[in-house]
Amino acid sequence: MDDATKSSVRRPPLPHTRGAAWADGATLLGDLRGASRLAIDAVTGVTGIVEDMHRNIAAASPVVGTAPTGSARGISGFVYRAVRGVARGVGLGIDLALAPLPGLLAGAGASSPRREAILAAANGIWGQHLVETGNPLAIPMNLRRDGRPLQLDAGPLAAEFGAAPGRLLILVHGLCMNDLQWCRDGHDHGIELARDLGCIPLYLHYNSGRHISVNGRELAHVLERLLRAWPGRVEELAIVGHSMGGLVARSACHYAHAAGYAWPGRLRHLAFLGTPHHGAPLERAGNWADILVGLSPYTVPFTRLGKARSAGIKDLRRGSLLDEDWRGRPGDDAGDPRTPVPLPAGVRCYAVAATRNAPRRGRRRDGDGLVPVDSALGRHADPARCLPIPPDRQLVVEGIDHFGLLASRQVCDRLRNWFARP
């Protein structure tokens, strides 16, 4: 290992292991603006639900059937419109008052792990809404190191890494998570693999509430920018994706190939940790709940709550990777309309699953609590959808849950052995 590699590996761990401080004033004011907008959206949304219930009850709708359309009439309708108007006016006033202040208070303060976790969760649940409404809480995609975003230009990268080795490891987090959360129980797969394999770990930070295909296409572009600006030739690229992160990585490979990007030619290893290649039962249950609630005019207003969940969560129903898997399709369509997406050619792919129970005769492994074992390993009854990952590139870890994969030494050891093979 040369001096550049040693210096890159021996850097201090992620900020949350060093007790980072709260964000600076400008960032906090941006958070306040975003939170106020989200609160106003919630008020107007709940008002709409109450108005729909009022209208349906007043219309004496049948218990099961189609709900009437339109707004409440008369004085009731005026009241509901007034509530929404006042809420929007208050929100606009708060936004206008706070808008000039972040520029005046900008500084170099660090964020905190708690703030990062709250933002990541909010983006995972309402990420698409945050983007569509221009909310400051929406997380922009970037590659980070030690919790700091990298500038993907030759000068800043050369100043950051110098004559760094040409082996890069990209880690992609899952739904409602962030790059800091790769460190769990004092263990970080990226730091461990960098130390033992002489590679440089870079962590993707992104809004997990957007469609997987949207994030995949943007990741493909980000990696192309990284390789073009890197100080020296990148000889080898490896990607580790946890949960949704594995789907985003697969989508990125597809769109990079379609765009003719160069980085897929450097990609040697692609590892999936608890990735729901064929969907997650929890989201399928949420979709069925929406259908059942929508059967009666008296409960159909509450479907707004279920439909408010993010596009990224809805994509986890089946593990959708492409725009055409969701564009122009209703959220409750039957069957599996996904376009089969093969694994990238010439790349060694690996799948790791977890199961909370030990296997017994006549009893199936129950998965990790969120993702079934078959989905994590890419197995499917339809051969066209089954991912051809050979048994020696699969691992099932017993006695841990979905998030335990991040702290598992067994997983890290297996990744090290896989990535070390020529």
Percent of the chain with pLDDT over 90: 50
Percent of the chain with pLDDT over 70: 63
pLDDT of residue 334: 61
Element (H, E) at 27: helix 25-58
Q: How confident is the model at residue 25 (pLDDT cuts 50, 70, 90)?
A: very low
> Is the pLDDT score of 58 beyond 60?
no
Asked if 411 and 188 touch (Cβ cutoff 8 Å), the reply is no
The average pLDDT across 225-234 equals 93
The average pLDDT across 246-260 equals 98
CA distance 83 to 390: 59
Lookup: tokens for 93: 């006033």
Closest C-alpha among 32, 228, 259, 35 to residue 126: 35
Closest C-alpha among 203, 214, 206 to residue 315: 214
pLDDT of residue 281: 80
> Is the pLDDT score of 195 beyond 70?
yes
Rg of the chain in Å (alpha carbons): 23
The average pLDDT across 231-250 equals 96
CA distances 297 to 57, 59, 75, Å, are 8, 10, 22
pLDDT of residue 306: 44
More confident residue, 129 or 305: 129
Read off the pLDDT of residues 128-164 as tens digits, 9 standing for 90 and up: 888 988 888 889 999 999 999 999 999 999 999 987 7
More confident residue, 188 or 107: 188
Lookup: tokens for 116: 């990062």
CA distance 274 to 189: 14
More confident residue, 114 or 35: 114
DSSP-assigned states of every residue in 94-113:
HHHHHTTHHHHH-------H
pLDDT of residue 19: 37
> Is the pLDDT score of 47 beyond 50?
no
More confident residue, 69 or 148: 148
Asked if 171 and 201 touch (Cβ cutoff 8 Å), the reply is yes
Q: How confident is the model at residue 70 (pLDDT cuts 50, 70, 90)?
A: low
Asked if 62 and 11 touch (Cβ cutoff 8 Å), the reply is no
Read off the pLDDT of residues 332-387 as tens digits, 9 standing for 90 and up: 556 688 999 999 999 999 999 999 876 655 455 678 889 999 999 999 999 989 99
The average pLDDT across 186-198 equals 96
Give Cα 303 to chain centroid, integer Å: 23
pLDDT of residue 124: 92
> Is the pLDDT score of 291 beyond 50?
no
Q: Establish how many alpha carbons lie within 13 A of residue 343's alpha carbon, considering only the half-sphere containing its beta carbon.
A: 21
pLDDT of residue 83: 43
Q: What number of residues does the chain have?
A: 422
> Is the pLDDT score of 65 beyond 60?
no
146 φ/ψ angles, rounded to the nearest 5 degrees: 55, 35
The helix/strand count (H/E) of the chain reads as 14, 10
Sign of CA dihedral 242, 326, 282, 46: positive
pLDDT of residue 421: 80
Mean residue pLDDT of the chain comes to 77
Lowest mean pLDDT among 11-25, 167-181, 195-209, 328-342: 11-25
Closest C-alpha among 282, 403, 301, 405 to residue 351: 405
pLDDT of residue 110: 53
CA distance 353 to 132: 34
More confident residue, 310 or 285: 310
Asked if 231 and 162 touch (Cβ cutoff 8 Å), the reply is yes
The average pLDDT across 68-82 equals 50
Q: Which amino acid is at 332?
A: D
pLDDT of residue 367: 87
> Is the pLDDT score of 2 beyond 80?
no
Cβ atoms < 10 Å from Cβ of 266:
17
Closest C-alpha among 350, 385, 412, 371 to residue 174: 371
The average pLDDT across 220-233 equals 95
CA triple 331-333-336, angle to 5 deg: 110
CA triple 316-322-328, angle to 5 deg: 90
pLDDT of residue 40: 53
pLDDT of residue 357: 77
